[in-house]
A = this chain, B = another copy of it.
Amino acid sequence: MAVVKSDIEIARAATKKPVFEIGAKIGIAPEHLVPYGHDKAKLSAQFIRSKRGARDGKLVLVTAVSPTPAGEGKTTTTVGLGDGLNRIGKKAIVCIREASLGPCFGVKGGAAGGGYAQVIPMEDINLHFTGDFHAITAAHNLLAALIDNHVYWGNALNLDTRRVTWRRVMDMNDRALRDIASSLGGVANGFPRESGFDITVASEVMAILCLATDLQDLERRLGDIIIGYRFDKTAVYARDLKADKAMAVLLKDAMQPNLVQTLENNPAFVHGGPFANIAHGCNSVVATTTALKLADYVVTEAGFGADLGAEKFFNIKCRKAGLQPAAAVIVATVRAMKMHGGVAKDDLGLENVAAVKAGCANLGRHMENVRQFGVPVVVAINHFSADTDAEIETVKNFVAAHGAEAILCKHWALGSAGIEELAHKVVSLAESGSAQFSPLYEDELSLFDKIETVVKRIYRGAEADADASVREQLRQWEAAGYGHLPVCMAKTQYSFSTDPHLRGAPVNHVVHVREVRLSAGAGFVVAICGEIMTMPGLPKSPSAERIHLNAQGLIEGLF
């Protein structure tokens, strides 16, 4: 067998084209691209406005089974399918999320695909890229500074400093900042209070940027952020602090989608990257809607498995942005099916057809779930070299028995040549016009009923459970006019239940809603079920210790 090249070796060996050539492929004139280096560019706001009346291409969602330590390759498949569609003559654009810088220094690993299905320049995309996340950090922390400054100068708004919900953010894995006491050190530094930092991708500003349709909408949503409560429990908004407009200034460039290319020189928009637990986990609405104006096909992904990622893509992003997905690809691997069937990670190398068969229950559940939204599905089996024919057939047969098709995809090893069959299938599904998309629940349903709808119909739990205080909080928000918002479920991604160890397709579990949070600017109510970490830590031996510049000045150790 040939020597397997690392992702970074493959990426470096690629023949990159100037970003202006990539833009030309989808009809963007050079004057509408703002370059960041020779291989990255932002689309001008003027160009995006000019396309408003154009006809939309077809939107394809790539989602996945419940993630396991075996890895599924959702971004890799998203990128591969984009290349595959271009290969068979369709004009296709890939839309994926930007990577968070902080986690790169914890555990080795990038977020730009892998093998022969990557977006490049991968080092840039995983580090500072075009500065969007830094701008989000700055805008978020400006609001935080204005809050404490307001209190310092007399607290005219009568803000209860114990009830300030707006924390600070940093794009770094730093557990020491999770809980802090600030404004220590005396009178000149303000009024001491408890606070803390989240990682930047968990910022509501990130979710807002990804759901805003343009700069005006962004500014309005920033103003709608609730930063805390007065002593009389009424909400204080970012607008009350006159912070919204300056925040929009800091986010002016970050709002514009970033154009890069795949290894096969096809266009990719990489823009935005909200958490997939306390936020909705999809790339920006602006990137997706703009791509739809420029291509026959737009291939995009959603975070985690379909129970979280696709559910939020449909119920939050598509609902709010008026998107009509034409088809969905569910990524599965033989290895993941084995783990869902009870095999331990160390035993994944051994053929185990029975475990694959058992684990397919997880896949079947996700297929049913996606179809509930009126979107036709196809399964992509992301090939690993140790997969046996019998195991692959088992997955194919399972999917066929459930009225769909599973297609073996070798894009990781072969690029677009390995994913042609899936591309054709996606086209036929999308062209069939069988999609009849609608969200799972109506805006008018009560907030708790929305939560319970997701619990029962997606997670297949017996019920949603919550303390009286949580239910009362939801009722208060309904009374305050927030009842029409969708819910954003924050739950472990590893199981349909709230127990991360419960793989496969559990039923009849109870989902306990521990806490609810109102993201009034983003426009959803977060239901937190279980422990959700919004500021990661670093491992004992972080990859930062090994990341370095080599003698040629190239980055090593990131991937």
Is the CB of A548 closer than 8 A to any CB of chain B?
yes
A387 to chain B, nearest CB (A): 36
In the bound complex, residues from chain B placing their C-beta under 8 Å from that of A105 are 142, 145, 246
* Residue on B nearest A101 in the bound complex, by CB: B138
* Residue on B nearest A131 in the bound complex, by CB: B131
Taking A35-B38, A183-B176, A184-B181 as contacts, is the C-beta distance between A545 and B249 under 8 angstroms? no
In the bound complex, residues from chain B placing their C-beta under 8 Å from that of A545 are 242-243, 246
In the bound complex, residues from chain B placing their C-beta under 8 Å from that of A57 are none
Is the CB of A252 closer than 8 A to any CB of chain B?
yes
Contact call B182/A176, Cβ cutoff below 8 A: yes
Is the CB of A72 closer than 8 A to any CB of chain B?
no
Taking A35-B38, A141-B170, A544-B243 as contacts, is the C-beta distance between A176 and B190 under 8 angstroms? yes
A353 to chain B, nearest CB (A): 41
Q: Mark A348-360, 1 if CB is under 8 A from B, else 0.
A: 0000000000000
In the bound complex, residues from chain B placing their C-beta under 8 Å from that of A320 are none
In the bound complex, residues from chain B placing their C-beta under 8 Å from that of A185 are 178-179, 196
In the bound complex, residues from chain B placing their C-beta under 8 Å from that of A172 are 138, 141-142, 145
In the bound complex, residues from chain B placing their C-beta under 8 Å from that of A243 are 544-545
Contact call B245/A548, Cβ cutoff below 8 A: yes
In the bound complex, residues from chain B placing their C-beta under 8 Å from that of A538 are 145-146, 149
In the bound complex, residues from chain B placing their C-beta under 8 Å from that of A183 are 175-176, 179
* Residue on B nearest A540 in the bound complex, by CB: B153
List A125-183 residues whose CB lies under 8 Å from chain B: 127-128, 131, 134-135, 137-138, 141-142, 144-146, 148-149, 152-154, 168, 170-183
Is the CB of A219 closer than 8 A to any CB of chain B?
yes
Taking A105-B142, A131-B134, A549-B219 as contacts, is the C-beta distance between A38 and B34 under 8 angstroms? yes
Contact call A549/B215, Cβ cutoff below 8 A: yes
Is the CB of A403 closer than 8 A to any CB of chain B?
no
Q: Which residue of B131, B186, B544 contacts A146 across the interface (Cβ within 8 Å)?
A: B544
A249 to chain B, nearest CB (A): 5
In the bound complex, residues from chain B placing their C-beta under 8 Å from that of A178 are 185, 189
In the bound complex, residues from chain B placing their C-beta under 8 Å from that of A145 are 105, 172-174, 176, 538
A339 to chain B, nearest CB (A): 27
Contact call B248/A549, Cβ cutoff below 8 A: yes
Q: Mark A184-199, 1 if CB is under 8 A from B, else 0.
A: 1110111000111000
Q: Which residue of B131, B184, B248, B558 contacts A180 across the interface (Cβ within 8 Å)?
A: B184
Is the CB of A36 closer than 8 A to any CB of chain B?
yes
Q: Mark A412-456, 1 if CB is under 8 A from B, else 0.
A: 000000000000000000000000000000000000000000000
Is the CB of A37 closer than 8 A to any CB of chain B?
yes
Contact call B544/A142, Cβ cutoff below 8 A: yes
* Residue on B nearest A129 in the bound complex, by CB: B131
A180 to chain B, nearest CB (A): 5
In the bound complex, residues from chain B placing their C-beta under 8 Å from that of A148 are 174-176
In the bound complex, residues from chain B placing their C-beta under 8 Å from that of A245 are 547-549
A: residues with CB less than 8 A from B are: 34-38, 45, 101, 105, 127-128, 131, 134-135, 137-138, 141-142, 144-146, 148-149, 152-154, 168, 170-186, 188-190, 194-196, 215, 219, 242-243, 245-246, 248-250, 252-253, 537-538, 540, 542, 544-549, 553, 555, 558
Q: Could you give 20 example pairs across A and B, Cβ below 8 Å?
A: A105-B142, A128-B131, A128-B135, A128-B250, A142-B544, A146-B538, A146-B542, A148-B175, A152-B537, A153-B540, A154-B540, A176-B190, A179-B189, A180-B180, A181-B184, A219-B549, A242-B545, A243-B545, A248-B548, A249-B558
